Homo-oligomer: A and B are copies of this chain.
Amino acid sequence: MEERHAIQTSVDPVIFTVFDGQLHTLVVKRTIEPYKGCWSLPGGLVDTEQDLDLHSAALRKLKEKTNVAAPYLEQVETVGSASRDPRGWSVTVVYYALMPRPEIALAATHGASEVRWEPVTDGTAAIPLAFDHEKLVRLALERLRAKVGYTSVAVHLLPEPFTFLDIQHIHEVILGRKVEKKSLMRRYLGSGVIEEAQGARKEGRMRPAQLYRLKDRRTIHYFTRTMEGPREE
């Protein structure tokens, strides 16, 4: 009876950050079988002795690999089947986390001989990943893309303070298309999710841009319309 119902349960955070004009996700090299030597998501089994709940299990994994304690973290979906792990039935709870690049101090510890940022291009990571982790990345990316269209979630990828050009870039990188800065200004200024920060940033010999910061790093704002992209002909 017991062994029919007790299931290997893990959390798999898909950690997104943006640099070099591209979305990246954190992968670690596996040091044990199965898939030894393959890259995989920085997840792992829930530990019933140290984790109080699923959310804190995900936070623990994040902390171990990136040393970031409180990023934006959201549950995506739970995948479980008899076939996804060769050792038998398993369940994994997929999260995605957004963190500004500068805050991250990668740590190669806890059984991950290597930790690395892998670019996420059209749909998935460029290199093959262990288990069904490519599918998990795709699930997380789909959720992120959808949510960027009708919430303020994208700005959680930006280090503070940021400009509207930064906001525009981050949207364009995630969605993979041009976005009207005017629309973003209407949204972000009208919703009160950001506030002005001191100073301005000069990129060359042109007019400096106003700096902003998030008012609340824990929550996101829901807009009532989805950004639709360029008009059809």
Contact = CB atoms under 8 A, between A and B. Distances in A.
Contact of A5 (B47, B80, B225): B47
A205 interface: no
Interface string A126-168: 0000000000000000000000001000000000000000000
Interface string A51-85: 11110000000000000000000010111111100
A226 interface: yes
A197 to B, nearest CB: 31
A89 interface: yes
Interface string A78-108: 1111110000110101000000000000000
Interface stretch (A6-14, A26-34, A114-122): A6-14
Name the prevailing secondary structure of the A interface residues: mixed
Contacts of A3: 6, 48
A80 B75 CA distance: 12
A109 interface: no
A48 B45 CA distance: 18
B82 A54 contact: no
Interface in A147-193: 150
Nearest to A227: B224
10 contacts: A6-B6, A9-B80, A48-B82, A53-B81, A54-B81, A75-B77, A78-B78, A80-B93, A91-B91, A91-B93
Q: Across chains A and B, which 9 residue pairs bring their CB atoms closest together, nearest first? A: A53-B81, A6-B6, A48-B89, A5-B45, A78-B78, A54-B80, A7-B9, A224-B226, A225-B225
Given A46-B89, A53-B80, 13 more contacts: A3-B48, A4-B45, A4-B47, A5-B8, A5-B45, A5-B46, A5-B47, A6-B6, A7-B9, A9-B91, A54-B80, A54-B91, A91-B93
